[in-house]
Chain A
């Protein structure tokens, strides 16, 4: 009994010391007055911001920024609630949000790549074939030059920005509707994982996720003979793309938020955009 009590006391002392040092260590680092800023929002924009923050903080040592991955809508809501001072969004603002005074600033373009499972066997589709496949009119791969197998569709959820962009550009253009018989993935990463593991599947992901598709053995298609690449999107020859935004309450005035967005739009920031797999504006 005694022995155990001693053991427990020792452990508790050690633990409290450890926790105290963790907290104290952080406090003692603050020689300069550092102001904390919290941004947040879309998970698609997150990789850009994650790479941009260290670069920005190098030139602005008195600011410490963190970006919370909450999703576009939750981010916008928290912006309005005051918890965030800048929100990232991969979808367009709704009318009600614009009427409420929110202002989006485009910081990058994102192309949508069409990916297929490695067993499918084709390398290209025309835009019209793509829309027929996703509307459920074409159901077998042999109808578009692949092997004889049923096509499995993998799409994003109905309210995602990626889904809306794909719908507008691919489906609405040919006046078709998305077939409801499809596997729904909630995030880009999940969609990529599903394409890799579902035979004969086809889906679409943001271009920045191409490397995950190829690493797991999937294949990125060219559309109408054009590969999804930054240059092709900028040139307008690759048809499927969308904009990514940073949202503020009211137009950007002075302050760290404005500096940060300016940084994103600067040459260095746009280089970071390209490095992370997205497309710079211009």
Chain B
């Protein structure tokens, strides 16, 4: 047995190390922010902010280049919104299913498939999308199949593992006592779930949705292949579109000068959006906790 002195010293040392690890995440975010802003801010020397944000004219190779990202903003919004819309019911159901009916072959099958899904490279999802999702959309909705809708469907499938896994952990963690108490009071299983389990695991579920949202916004390769990638202003979800990340990835290998700064400025915008979403989520969860 080590002496009390040594153990206390280890305790203090360990605490410092743990703190440093936690601070690493802040450090990384700061560095990346600096990086993006340093590369992106010079854009606005030649491109007025209003044009950048509100014009849908993106033509970097024209003799008089324009860098308006409105079409991409709208496309990103729709794709992310729809993918979350598609994922949430399925993900929540699966999380509840796994947490409550944890044993059984169906549950293990689901679990294994989810883990495998998380490892599939996005380009394979893209190829799958081209082979299955795009023809499906083409046959059911018309058009050529490459659309924001196809992109949302593929994205919804891709973020399933993340959302399910994190919510499952917190749903599972709702103590048995709480559940037993609820059943003892005469609540049906669904009432227990909706009135006891879900509210207690709210933080975990919200965390999972935020992780999923992050993955959805940041996904590039898969949506690149099925979204059509046309820099047009999308007027319906069946239109081809280009999201902000698709724009960055598409032009990055060839861009330079103002064009490249404009791409980093796009990344800046994404960054600010995520930051604001963060504040919104924190505000919502804070308010509901006070309730």
Task: List chain A positions with a Cβ less than 8 A from chain B.
Answer: 43, 70-74, 76-77, 91, 94, 96-97, 152, 157-161, 164, 180-186, 190, 193-194, 197-198, 201
In this complex, how many residues of chain B approach chain A with their Cβ under 8 Å: the count is 31
In the complex formed, the residue of B with least CB distance to A96 is B257
Q: Known contacts A184-B242, A197-B135, A198-B145; is A72 also within 8 Å of B253 by CB?
A: yes
For window 39-73 of B, CB contacts with A under 8 Å fall at 59-61
Q: Of A159, A160, A183, which is within 8 A of B230 by CB? A: A183
The reply on B225 being an interface residue by CB < 8 A is yes
Selected A-B contacts with CB under 8 Å, 10 pairs = A43-B253, A73-B260, A157-B229, A161-B254, A183-B228, A183-B240, A184-B242, A190-B224, A197-B131, A198-B146
Which of B27-35, B75-83, B165-173, B244-252 lies at the interface with chain A? B244-252
The reply on B90 being an interface residue by CB < 8 A is no
Q: Which of B134, B242, B254 has the most CB of A within 10 A?
A: B254
User: Do A198 and B252 touch across chains, with their CB atoms under 8 A apart?
Assistant: no
Q: Known contacts A152-B144, A183-B144, A186-B249; is A71 also within 8 Å of B230 by CB?
A: no
In the complex formed, the residue of B with least CB distance to A94 is B256
Q: Within the assembled complex, what's the spacing in Å between the Cα atoms of A168 and B262?
A: 25
Contacts of B135 in A (CB 8 A): 197
User: Do A181 and B230 touch across chains, with their CB atoms under 8 A apart?
Assistant: yes
Contacts of B60 in A (CB 8 A): 158-159
User: Do A71 and B253 touch across chains, with their CB atoms under 8 A apart?
Assistant: yes
Q: Known contacts A180-B231, A181-B232, A183-B240; is A160 also within 8 Å of B144 by CB?
A: no
**Shortest distance between the CB of B169 and any CB in chain A (Å):** 22
User: Do A159 and B61 touch across chains, with their CB atoms under 8 A apart?
Assistant: yes
User: Do B231 and A74 touch across chains, with their CB atoms under 8 A apart?
Assistant: no
User: Do A73 and B255 touch across chains, with their CB atoms under 8 A apart?
Assistant: yes
Q: Of B61, B230, B259, which is within 8 A of A184 by CB? A: B230
Contacts of B134 in A (CB 8 A): 197-198
The reply on B130 being an interface residue by CB < 8 A is yes
User: Do A186 and B250 touch across chains, with their CB atoms under 8 A apart?
Assistant: yes
In the complex formed, the residue of A with least CB distance to B61 is A158
Contacts of B85 in A (CB 8 A): none
Contacts of A96 in B (CB 8 A): 256-257
Q: Within the assembled complex, what's the spacing in Å between the Cα atoms of A73 and B251?
A: 10
Q: Known contacts A71-B252, A74-B253; is A186 also within 8 Å of B231 by CB?
A: no
Contacts of A70 in B (CB 8 A): 253
Q: Within the assembled complex, what's the spacing in Å between the Cα atoms of A193 and B251?
A: 20
Q: Known contacts A73-B255, A73-B256, A197-B134; is A157 also within 8 Å of B250 by CB?
A: yes
Contacts of A71 in B (CB 8 A): 252-254
**Shortest distance between the CB of B276 and any CB in chain A (Å):** 29
- Given A74-B252, A158-B60, A184-B230: 11 more A-B contacts, CB < 8 Å: A70-B253, A96-B257, A158-B231, A159-B254, A159-B255, A159-B259, A180-B230, A182-B230, A190-B224, A193-B130, A194-B130
User: Do B229 and A160 touch across chains, with their CB atoms under 8 A apart?
Assistant: no
Closest 7 CB pairs of A and B: A71-B253, A184-B229, A159-B254, A157-B250, A73-B254, A183-B228, A152-B144
